[in-house]
Structures are given as C-alpha cells and as structure tokens.
Structure 1
Amino acid sequence: MTFAAAPDPAYALMRDWTQRWSDLESDLARLLLHPHADSNFCTRLQTLQQQAHGLLQLDPDASLYWLLQLAASTSIGYSSSHALVCWALSRLVAPSLDCSPPQQLSLAHAALTMNIAMTQLQNTLAEQPHEPSAEQRAAIETHAARSAQWLRELGVTDADWLHTVELHHEPQDDLDTPTRLLQAVDRYAAQISPRETRAGRCVTDSGRQAVVAHSQGAVNAIGHALLRTVGICPPGSFVRLEDESTAVVLRRTDRPDAPWVARVLDAAGTTLAEPTLIDTRLDGCGIAAALVTQTVRVRLNHARLLHLSRIALAH
C-alpha cells in the first residue's frame, strides 16, 4: 500500500533529527562520566533535559524510534544511552499515572542521573566478556546510595529527585509512584539492551518482565501503563509480519498491539530497495512476533524511515 506525503511543518526540524539526538547523547555522556569537573553541573544537566524534552515533544514516536534503535543495537556508550531511554519512557508514561508536573520533572532528572556513581562501570560491564567480579558486584550494590550522595555534593537540593535516585533499586511495594515507574522503565530498558555476554531481549519479553516483576497492586499497574503508552512493540523495535517479512516499528496508533511499521526485509530475508509503510491494523498486515534486534541483518536508512514515520502521522 502506498501513502502520499502530505506537507509536513516539522520537516525542516526532522532533517537533522538523528544528529541532534546523537549530539545530546554525547554531551550527556561527557557530563555523567566527569560530573565533578563541571562547576555548573545542575545547570548543565537541566539544560540537557530541556533540550531532550523539546525533541521529545516535537515527535515522541520519532524520539522513541531513534533512542530504542540506539539502545538495542550496540553496547557502546551504554550508560548514557540507557539513561536517555529511561528518561524518555518516564516522560511519556508519568502523565498517565497522574504524576504532577513537579514530580515529572524530578523524575526526569532522576532518570538521567540514577547511575551517575557507576557511569564508567556500566559502560565497562556492557562490553566485558564475562560476568561481574566480586568488586564490581559490590559497586553495583551500593551505586544507588552513592549516586544520591554524589548529586548532593554536586548541588542537587530537590528532595524528590534525590529520593527517587536513592531508592530506584529498592524492592518494597510501598514506594511512591515516580520511584516505582523508574524501576519499571529501568528494568525494561536494561532487558532490550545487548551486553557482550548476551543479546538484548525482544520488546515483548522486556515488557512482560516490566509487568510481572512485581505482581501486586499499583506496581503491576505501572507495568501495564508502560505498555499502554509505548505499545507492545514500540517505535524502533523489529517485528515479523504475518507474511513472514521483517519490519521496523515507526509509530504508535490507537492500538498498543498494532503500530505503523516499515517493511525492510522480504520473507526470504532480502533487503528491500525501498521500505514499505504498513498499517498493521489492516487485515492481513498484522504482527506475528517481536524480534531481537541483533538477529535482524539490515542497514537502515534512518532519514528515509523517519520520513515515512511522518507520512504515517498524517494518516
């Protein structure tokens, strides 16, 4: 099926979309790796958060597409990539859980900085070919409290921000909603990201973990809110369609199980010369299964796919 392109008022901004996100991720990585080297850490972090929020608001689906593609395709620079995915998911899901605007902002800052005391260790763990050593495990166990302490030393005075960072690995069910949400998106994002020791999981497995990790009450509801908001197969993930072809998800629809996708490989696994935009809500066009990113052998033309995503937005 062919869809005509309507005039797109955001086209000029979308032309350098991936570069703007890449530049922002690089700036965040530098800040998180050497936070004490920046005397204006809080101001710098808040500026980066505002820049990211501007991109997210311009096109949430294009943002998810790029961030999840980045997170699921490489373990290089894991810590900052993971922080941005958790940040974006938190930003998108928090309003549906009735978090107030101040709570949403504190949560956004917490998502970006929850692992600040182990940024380099996170990057190392993602790329090392063996399980963590005893010393590394000890650092992992204490990183939440140390991250909160680092943030205090760096001038953070927002009690909710510090509270969420300090408790983002605590297992109890009586935590506040922002902290429980951060725990859910942290698990979800970690599952889809590859390590040197394992491939990332497919998004349906990651989503299942987010929902069933805690089985009672509001914690479980947060997992469901995550899947309702971003979809069962969110933008940036790969899927196998009913006709056995492979597609990449571009944009959410009114149905969490039926997004807009672009077919990129035929049923034989051959790369298509031109990706095809598909509405999986239509009969015969549905999704058969989610795929692990590392199993899909294709080089994506992100600019072209983002253009198709904008076409889908107009339909």
Structure 2
Amino acid sequence: MEQHRISLADIVPGKPLQWDVMDQEGHLLLKQGQVVQSRMQIERLIERGLFVTRNTSNAHTKDVTSTPRVESISVLRIINQCAKRLERLLFNVHNETDLPTKITDIAKVIRYATTVNADVAIATILLNQDECNYAVRHCIDTAILTAHVGQKIGKSEDDMISITAAALTMNLGMLRDQDAMQDNLNPLTDNERKIIYRHPAESVRLLREAGVSDEHWLECVLRHHENEDGSGYSSATRGDAILSDAKLLALADRYCARVVPRTYRKQMLPNAALRDILLNEKHKVDANLAALFLRELGIYPCGTFVRLVNGEVGVVTSKGGGSTMPVVHALLGPRGAPLAFPIKRDTSGTLTAIREVLHNDTASVRFNMNQLWGKDAEL
C-alpha cells in the first residue's frame, strides 16, 4: 500500500469519495463512499494533510481516471492557507462556532509544516510577508517559530499544540487596533498604550468567551509580555512565576516583531535582532531558554540575505553544520549581475564565508522561494 497526497481538485462536494482518506499519521478521516458537502469542509481537511491509500500491487488493473492526482507537499502553500483561514477566524471570532477546535487544527497544521521542511517554514518569516495583513501574519510567524523551537527542545505534543495555538491568538485583544497602529507614523497615544498594555488579558477574555478552556493555552497568552525581571506587563510577573512556554512564546514574539518592516521603522537584520534580545534585553529573558533559542534558529536564520567574501549576494537556505556557517544559495554574482541559477555555497570556505547581512531592499534580488527550496516552497 502507498500513501499519496491529494489536492482540492480530487474531492468534489456532493459526490461520494472513491478512496479512504487519512491524515498524515494514518488516522482515518473519511471512508470510501462518504460525501463531503461543502468546499469549506474540504479546505479544512486539506489543511490537516490528506492522503489516500492505494494498493499498488494491482494498480495496473484500475481505471486510471479513479486514481487521485498526486500533489507535492508545499510548506509555503500550507502556511499561506493557514494564514488565510486564521484571518477569517480571528476577525469573525464572535460568530464562529467551535473556535477552539478550528484554531487547534491550524496549530496542528503549522506544527506539521515545520516537520516537513523547517527551513522553508522559518524562511517565510523573512520572505513571505505580503500574504496577509501584518497582525495575522505576525501571529503565524510566531507560531512557526514556537512550533519549531519547542519541538527541538523536547516539548510534549500536547504542550506544543497549546503554545502554538497561543501564538496564533496572543494578540486577539488588539487585533483591529494593531493594523491601525502598524500604519501610524505618529507616536502612540495614551489610549493606544492602554490597548497594548491590556491586550494579553483582553485576549484571554475573548478566548474564554469563544469556548477556550485549555488553561495552558490561556496562560501562555496572558504571560507572553512578562519579563524575567518583572518589568513586563500586564501583571509584572517575574522569574519562575512565568510559565516556561510563555517565555518561549515571548522570545518568538520579540524576534518576529523586530525582523519585519513596519510603516514607521525599518526592519532589524535577523542577527541584530537576536543580538538585541540576547544582549540588550538579557535581564528580561530567560538566559538558558534564549541560548537554546539561538542554537535552534542560528545566527543567520533561513531567509536571511547575505553578502559573501567573494562579493556574491545570496539567501541562507539551511543552518548547515552549525549556527555560524549556514548554507547559502548565491543569486547575484560579484558584480551584481543575476546568476543563471542559484549556486549553493558552503560558508565555511574562505572566499564563500559570510561578510555581511543585508536588508531585503539593499540586496535587490528578485526570486521565488521555489527557486531555492523546490517543491516544498511552491505557491
């Protein structure tokens, strides 16, 4: 028996299924002959990772028209689908039925995406910011990072689903205001500061009203702006009184907020953002957790634009053998001319070592993510 991923086009609303359909873990979702009634149901199932099991021993006797079309698993596409779905849910939270399950489903898909190709998932934080509005995109970015780092440092599956769901909903209490503030060139007003200060508790209130009863999830949301030294908000909790998973969420939130451009400021370079968190805010973060965070993300996270010693400009595509010498694919030659195709560079070499990190607009490189990561980054 073989498992093959199927696409939206393989399931037609109102028509019986021709195959048993399972999730990526092999759990039966739909039996052959069942009928899916709506496109929305199909989209939800696709996001969970649909596979059809086919007996290849007698495949030659089957009508080829009954064999589902195989679709590659694109992490980029999965993440973009999650972003669109999350946007609908968060901006319609008062009218959604069973919101906890729907958010949890997205959290599971984000977790799955990071296991398919973590490099692509992390690169989307730097390279895929135009897919939806800032407020929702920031939650998706933070969820990707918490899911990846949490898995690497040994968090349990249940805890990881809770913290990823918390990342997706951490700013619910200021969602509409956040986009307005993102576009505001003026200093924050007193009212806007109050909204920011209150948003962790307000997010928890809204989540409880929507039916969320997972206390781990809610605690992560409530504490994601608390600091080790008690200087955070909204209750000035400190040290061991802060849930460790809330600390991880806070680290991911801080990093993602810094590396994305805002209307009122330029983005920080990824390595500078990490240095700012680990050095300038060292009294605010858990030192041990921050060290683990840096180890898993690397000094040059995937998606970072860099210039090499030989003058080439490229993008970090993998952490490689260590956090300081990642794999880079060069896109521009030493004289600034586009290369015919991306060239893989080992940055442990003398001439291909990283000389500097570049802002996206300074790099002036046009490319699609699938040119660097193939089918895992197809739109």
TM norm structure 2: 0.73
Aligned to 1:261: 328
Aligned to 2:239: 173
Aligned to 1:68: 126
Amino-acid identity (%): 26
Query: Offset of 1:266 from its aligned partner?
Result: 2.4
**Residue 84 of structure 2 corresponds to residue 54 of structure 1:** no
Whole-Å Cα distance in 2 between the matches of residues 90 and 76 of structure 1?
20
Aligned to 2:286: 219
Whole-Å Cα distance in 2 between the matches of residues 75 and 193 of structure 1?
13
Contact persistence 2:254–2:277 (CA under 8 A) = yes
1:107 is matched with which residue: 163, 170, 173? 163
Change (3 A) 1:179 1:307: same
**Residue 178 of structure 2 corresponds to residue 119 of structure 1:** no
Aligned to 1:284: 351
> What runs of 5+ residues in structure 2 fail to find an aligned partner?
6-69, 228-237
Aligned to 2:145: 89
Q: Give the structure with higher Rg (CA).
A: 2
Contact persistence 1:199–1:294 (CA under 8 A) = no
Q: Residues 129-173 of structure 1, C-alpha deviation per residue, up to 9 Å, x if partnerless? A: 333222222111110110011111111111111111111112223
Instruction: State the number of aligned residues.
Output: 299
TM norm structure 1: 0.87
Contact persistence 2:84–2:132 (CA under 8 A) = no
Amino acid at match of 1:161: W
Deviates more, 1:120-129 or 1:216-225: 216-225
Aligned to 2:205: 149
Amino acid at match of 1:122: Q
Contact persistence 1:211–1:222 (CA under 8 A) = no
Deviates more, 1:42-51 or 1:156-165: 42-51
Query: Offset of 1:300 from its aligned partner?
Result: 1.2
Greater RCO, CA 8 A, separation 6+? 1
Change (3 A) 1:75 1:220: farther
RMSD: 2.4
Aligned to 2:217: 161
Amino acid at match of 2:175: T
Contact persistence 2:72–2:376 (CA under 8 A) = no
Contact persistence 1:76–1:126 (CA under 8 A) = no
Aligned to 1:244: 311
Query: Offset of 1:83 from its aligned partner?
Result: 1.0
Contact persistence 1:131–1:197 (CA under 8 A) = no
Query: Offset of 1:98 from its aligned partner?
Result: 4.2
Contact persistence 2:258–2:273 (CA under 8 A) = yes
